[in-house]
Structure 1
């Protein structure tokens, strides 16, 4: 009887942990910490390096070009020019994940270019 109770308690905590991870959508350490990058190669699988602030970097500051972000999913915001770019660092948003493409909205946002939605 005592072994069954211990097993139930362990199962309960495992289930709670799984629900918490699923509810967040991403692992807590990935969601809370933005990984700085100078190239998409530094970001890992299904992620790219994005410049969010296109203003010039100060000469004396030690900083990175951008931060790692996931590739666009269905209905994610994207920039049409990024979709087929062969770049190490992207402006504003990552390209859409293959086989999705960035469908332009006709609205241009300076300095990024035409915004769209992954679809």
Structure 2
């Protein structure tokens, strides 16, 4: 498969993932594929979700912001790695950017 075809498939997958976002959840198992259950933090709320639940959020795409170790955000999509920028948020940890894995 050539690079353009791969890029198009990745773009379509990302667009599909974004359409599924915003579902209330209690754990990752409540979410669609390539989503995780992010706790509602910093005032982020979804209508109809309880305060103690989370929101299904898509995994990070290339060049999207992430947290190294993904304690507070979803991990990057398969084939991507969260590469630290050297900037740390407290208590979240090091901020990173989803980038193509060197070995994946």
TM-score w.r.t. length of structure 2: 0.64
Matches within 5 A, 1:75-94: 75-82=63-70, 90-91=71-72, 93-94=73-74
Matched, 1:113 2:101: no
Structure 1, unaligned stretches of length 5 or more?
1-21, 56-61, 83-89
Q: Secondary structure in 1 aligned to 2:69?
A: helix
TM-score w.r.t. length of structure 1: 0.57
**Match of residue 79 from structure 2:** 99
**Match of residue 48 from structure 1:** 36
User: C-alpha root-mean-square deviation of aligned residues, in Å?
Assistant: 2.5
Q: Secondary structure in 1 aligned to 2:88?
A: strand
Query: Could you list the runs of 4 or more consecutive aligned residues of structure 1 that deviate by over 6 angstroms after TM superposition?
Result: none
Matches within 5 A, 1:15-26: 25-26=15-16
> How many residues in Structure 1 have an aligned counterpart in Structure 2?
80
The structure whose residues are more often strand, as a share, is 2
Matched, 1:68 2:77: no
